[in-house]
Chain A
Amino acid sequence: MVTSITSFGRSGLYDWMIQRVSAVVLLVYTVFMIGYLLMNPGLDYEQWSALFENTAMRIFSLLTLLSFAAHIWIGMWSVSTDYIKPTGARFVFQSATGLLTFIYVVWGIQILWGV
Chain B
Amino acid sequence: MYFGAVFMLYALGLSLESQQGFNEAVEMLETSFFAKLIAWGLVSALLYHFFAGIKHLVMDFGYCEELESGQLAAKVTMGVSVVAILLAGVWIW
Contacts and interface: CB of A to CB of B under 8 A. Distances in A.
Given A76-B2, A104-B9, A48 B54 contact: no
A20 interface: yes
A100 B6 CA distance: 10
A111 B12 contact: yes
B57 interface: yes
Given A48-B15, A48-B16, A108-B9, A20 B46 contact: no
Contacts, number: 43
Contacts of A49: 16, 22
Nearest to A37: B91
B2 A100 contact: yes
B13 A107 contact: yes
A115 B18 CA distance: 9
Interface string A20-48: 10011001001000000000000011001
Given A20-B60, A45-B19, A48-B22, A27 B12 contact: no
A111 B13 contact: yes
Contact of B22 (A23, A45, A68, A72): A45
* Among A24, A48, A52: residue with most chain B CB under 10 A: A48
B81 to A, nearest CB: 14
Contacts of B22: 44-45, 48-49
Contacts of A45: 15, 18-19, 22-23
Nearest to A41: B91
8 contacts: A23-B56, A27-B53, A27-B54, A44-B22, A68-B5, A76-B2, A110-B13, A114-B13
Closest 6 CB pairs of A and B: A45-B22, A111-B13, A45-B19, A115-B16, A23-B53, A52-B16
